[in-house]
C-alpha cells in the first residue's frame, strides 16, 4: 500500500461541511485528491468553504440543505450525483445541541430538531447513499458521533440520546451494506470550533490547547487523521467501528501519579 490515504478520483459528501470539524475534513479530503460536496443550511457559508477547496485544485459543490428535514435530503443527494457523478465517501457530520436551563424546560420542538439533525438526517442520507454505494463501487460512510453518547450528562441529554442512536445506526448500516460499504463512527470529544465559544466562562476560557487537570480540548485539525483513515483504503477491513477521538480519559488532577 504505497499511498494509504490517497483519495484521488473519489467524491466526498460532507454535511455540516462549511465550518468546524466538517470544514477541516472537507479540506483534508481535497488535499488527499477528492472532490467534495459541501452541505449545510446556509449556502453562502458552503460557497466560502467550496472556494477554499477549489483553491486546492479540487472540484467543490456547495449545497444548502437542512438535513433534519426528510423531504430536503433526496433532492440534495440527486444534485450531488447529477453534478459530481457519484458519492464514495459520506460524512454525517451535521449536528446541533442547543442549550437549555433545565430538563423540564426542553420543548418538544427543540427535542425534535436535535433528533432530526443528529439522527433522522443521517438515517435517511445513509439509506439513500449507502444503497447506491452498495449497488455500485462501494464506499465509506463516517458518522460523527460524540462522547456524550457514552457519558451522557444532564446538560445535553437529547443530544446524547440522538448520538447514541447514531452509534446504533453505524452498526446496523455496517451490517446492511457490507462488505463493500464500510460504516464507522468517530466519537469526538471537545474540540475548539466556533461551537466552543458558547461553553466558556469569560473568567476561565476554553480554547484549543487549553488545559486543566491533565485535560485539553482538541484543535479542529486533529480530527483529520481519523477521517482520512476511515475514508481511505487504509481502513479496508474496518467496519462498524467506534473510534474515539477525545483526548483520552479526563484525569481527576494534574501531574503524574
Q: What is the dihedral of CA 230, 234, 240, 245, to 10 degrees?
A: -50
Give pLDDT, residue 204: 44
Distance of CA 17 to the CA centre of its chain: 8
Give pLDDT, residue 214: 54
Say if residue 208 is preceded by a cis peptide, omega within 30 of 0: no
CATH of 11-189+222-245, one of 3.50.50.60, 3.60.70.12, 3.40.50.720, 3.30.428.10: 3.40.50.720
Grid cell digits, residue 215:
485535560
Is 211's pLDDT higher than 60? no
List the chain domain ranges.
11-189+222-245
- pLDDT range class, residue 198, cuts 50, 70, 90: very low
- pLDDT range class, residue 194, cuts 50, 70, 90: low
With DSSP H G I counted as helix, E B as strand and the rest as coil, what are the percentages for the chain, rounded to 5? 45, 20, 35
- pLDDT range class, residue 121, cuts 50, 70, 90: very high
Q: Where are the beta strands (DSSP E) in the chain?
A: 11-15, 35-40, 60-64, 89-92, 139-146, 181-188, 211-212, 215-216, 242-245
Q: Which of 81, 100, 159, 229 is catalytic?
A: 159
159 carries an active-site annotation: yes
Amino acid at each position: 500500500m504505497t499511498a494509504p490515504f490517497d483519495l484521488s478520483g473519489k467524491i466526498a459528501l460532507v454535511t455540516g461541511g462549511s465550518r468546524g470539524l466538517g470544514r477541516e475534513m472537507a479540506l483534508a479530503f481535497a488535499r488527499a485528491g477528492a472532490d467534495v460536496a459541501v452541505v449545510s443550511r446556509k449556502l453562502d457559508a458552503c460557497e466560502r468553504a467550496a472556494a477554499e477547496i477549489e483553491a486546492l485544485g479540487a472540484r467543490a459543490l456547495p449545497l444548502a440543505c437542512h438535513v433534519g428535514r426528510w423531504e430536503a435530503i433526496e433532492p440534495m443527494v440527486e444534485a450531488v450525483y447529477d453534478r459530481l457523478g457519484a458519492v464514495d465517501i459520506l460524512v454525517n457530520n451535521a449536528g446541533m445541541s442547543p442549550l437549555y436551563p433545565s430538563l423540564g424546560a426542553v420543548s418538544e420542538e427543540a427535542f425534535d430538531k436535535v433528533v432530526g439533525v443528529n439522527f433522522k438526517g443521517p438515517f435517511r442520507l445513509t439509506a439513500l447513499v449507502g444503497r447506491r454505494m452498495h449497488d455500485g463501487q462501494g464506499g465509506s460512510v463516517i458518522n460523527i458521533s460524540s462522547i456524550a453518547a457514552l457519558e451522557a450528562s444532564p446538560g445535553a441529554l437529547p443530544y446524547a440520546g440522538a448520538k447514541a442512536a447514531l452509534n446504533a445506526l453505524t452498526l446496523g448500516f455496517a451490517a446492511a451494506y457490507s462488505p463493500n460499504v464500510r460504516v464507522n463512527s468517530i466519537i469526538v470529544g471537545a474540540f475548539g470550533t466556533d461551537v466552543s465559544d458558547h461553553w466558556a466562562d469569560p473568567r476561565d476560557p476554553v480554547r484549543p490547547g487549553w488545559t486543566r487537570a491533565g485535560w485539553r480540548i482538541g484543535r479542529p485539525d486533529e480530527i483529520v487523521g481519523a477521517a482520512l483513515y476511515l475514508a481511505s483504503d487504509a481502513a479496508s477491513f474496518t467496519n462498524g467501528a467506534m473510534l474515539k477521538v477525545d483526548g483520552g480519559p479526563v484525569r481527576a488532577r494534574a501531574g503524574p501519579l
